[in-house]
Amino acid sequence: MRCKNNLMAETESLRSKKARQTRNALHEAAITRVLDDGLENATVANIAADVGVSTRTFFNYYATKEDAIVGLDESNIDAHVVDAYVHSDSGTNDLAADTAWFIREALLMGSIDPAMPARRRKLFARYPELVSKRFDRAEALEELVAGHVLARLRFLGQEFSSEDSAWRSARMLTQLCRVPLNHAGQTIKRSPELVDEKGSTKEIYEDSLELFLKVLDRL
């Protein structure tokens, strides 16, 4: 049975979807340019031209080419998706599935290219000075996601003994529900041909999420 909690598909506005696609395209173009030309020779102008946008448009999304390479950004999360997740009327029954989908949309750049994760790893191995920047950005983004997860828990009426307890619970749920995304990424890394066989990376993620929910149900 397929999971049906894809909040992005149901709630993301057309304008936000276009912006997300442009942001993703600039991120992928930045990685390609740096791998082909080197970090010093890759320019904002060339990256923008590869996507077919102006340098002014580039700076609407990223402050520097290094930011474009790292890619992670809190603006990846569409406000409509946040609202749909936090104020879902599905109660606690679909909390794990809803949270897993929300984390996927927040943390995944959205590339349909199964080779992109491997190319990112290659780039960061070549330029380790960028690793800490990506780590810091990923950590900040996950903390932002945890804040939305906490808002969902409070919307459901969950009570906590302290603010620290509330945040620890939200962070734990965020980390737990990230498992399907990590599992799908490892699946694609081991068997990239599955993307063509399944039709998309989304199909692989749905398989991982379905397995995740079955495991939770059996515990």
Q: Which tens digit of pLDDT belongs to each residue from 12-54?
A: 567 777 887 888 899 999 999 999 999 999 999 999 999 999 9
**Better pLDDT: 115 or 197:** 197
| Mean pLDDT confidence for 129-152 | 89
| Mean pLDDT confidence for 182-200 | 83
Q: Which tens digit of pLDDT belongs to each residue from 76-88?
A: 677 788 898 999 8
- The mean pLDDT of the chain is 85
With a cut of 80, say whether residue 156 has pLDDT above it.
yes
Q: Measuring CA to CA, which residue among 180, 179, 130, 173 is closest to residue 150?
A: 173
With a cut of 70, say whether residue 5 has pLDDT above it.
no
Looking at residue 12, its pLDDT comes to 56
With a cut of 70, say whether residue 112 has pLDDT above it.
no
Band of pLDDT at residue 10, cut at 50, 70 and 90: low
Pick the CATH number of 7-218 from 1.10.569.10, 1.10.150.20, 3.90.740.10, 1.10.357.10: 1.10.357.10
**Better pLDDT: 2 or 137:** 137
Looking at residue 11, its pLDDT comes to 52
Q: Measuring CA to CA, which residue among 204, 213, 147, 141 is closest to residue 177?
A: 213
With a cut of 50, say whether residue 187 has pLDDT above it.
yes
Looking at residue 20, its pLDDT comes to 77
Compute the half-sphere exposure of residue 174: CA atoms within 13 Å on the CB side of its CA.
Answer: 23
With a cut of 70, say whether residue 74 has pLDDT above it.
no
Looking at residue 44, its pLDDT comes to 96
Looking at residue 3, its pLDDT comes to 46
With a cut of 90, say whether residue 151 has pLDDT above it.
yes
Looking at residue 176, its pLDDT comes to 96
